[in-house]
Amino acid sequence: MKFKIKHVSTIDSTNRELMRYHDMYENYSILSADHQTSGKGRLNRIWEDNGSGNLMFSILLKNVISIESINKLNYVVCASIISLLDKYGINSKFKWPNDVLVNNKKISGVLIETRLTASDSIVVIGQGINVNSTSDNIDDYIYISDVLGRNISKEKVLYEFVNNFKKYFHNDLGFQICKKEHCYHNKIIEINNTKYTVGNINMDGSIILIDSNSQESKYFGSELSLSKREILKDE
């Protein structure tokens, strides 16, 4: 697995670029940008450009993974971030399906996009990591520099990320790390006036919710998104 990193100053979106020109980029290309004019988030949200303190990059994987393993990629990516933060002495949590939180605030987000045909699988893994803070008073987001009290090199963070990604790609260590750090496990949540206990996460990328009759239901990230607002109290 040999990654080739290309850096640009400004682009519409590193995800869009790799998906659009996947033929022209080598397999295992990583494209990073200081600024995005049209950054994409999950669930059709916009990923705002908060200045150059955000590490934004995408990884292109061509015919590397099967459809069945795509959901596992979330774990590989989030565990790579959890481990790199750990190296800086920062304790973080996995928020299913693909966020990493520090002090209950979002420090990174992942957007995995796929184009699958009978003969090809094009996967673009987009990653935004809040590294150096450029603004104060952010309620929902946190930057690595907020915790450390100093700015750090974005290149070094990317380097650590890539090393961890390689380490977790071919095994289930990433899943084990996310399972251990799964922050809403056993919390009570309320969705559409119904209360559930949050159960385990699964290797296939899903999560289990348990209702008051102990009935278990399985959800994928495309069907459900958990936020602080749905958490009621500890069990």
For the CB of residue 220, give the shortest distance to ligand BTN in the complex, in Å: 16
Q: What phi, psi does 227 have (nearest 5°)?
A: -135, 170
| Among 59, 61, 101, 111, contact with ligand BTN (rule: CB under 6 A) | 111
Least distance to ligand BTN from the beta carbon of 56, Å? Answer: 4
- In the block, tokens 């899903």 appear at 206
Question: Which two tokens mark 73?
Answer: 């990629």
For ligand BTN, which is the closer residue by CB, 186 or 228?
Answer: 228
Supply the minimum distance, in Å, between the C-beta of residue 117 and ligand BTN: 22
DSSP of 143-210, one letter per residue? -HHHHHSS---HHHHHHHHHHHHHHHHTSSHHHHHHHHTBTTTTEEEEETTEEEEEEEE-TTS-EEEE
Nearer to ligand BTN, 36 or 132 (CB): 36
- Kindly tell me which of 110 and 158 has the beta carbon lying closer to ligand BTN: 110
Does residue 14 belong to the site contacting ligand BTN (CB under 6 A)? yes
Query: Is-contact 207 199, C-beta < 8 A?
Result: yes
Q: How many residues at the interface with ligand BTN, by CB under 6 A?
A: 19
Q: Shortest gap between Cβ of 127 and ligand BTN (angstroms)?
A: 6
Binding segment (CB under 6 A) for ligand BTN, from list 8-16, 73-81, 202-210, 213-221: 8-16
Nearer to ligand BTN, 40 or 72 (CB): 40
**Residues 21-60, mask of contacts with ligand BTN (x by CB under 6 A):** ---------------x--xxxx--x-x--------xxx--
CA distances from 146 to 32, 96, 136, 159 (A): 22, 23, 9, 21
- What whole-number distance in Å separates Cα of residue 56 and Cα of residue 2? 20
**Tokens linked to 15:** 């995800």
Please report the DSSP string for 67-78 in residue order.
Answer: GGGGGGHHHHHH
| Residues making contact with ligand BTN (CB under 6 A) | 13-15, 36, 39-42, 45, 47, 56-58, 109-111, 126-128
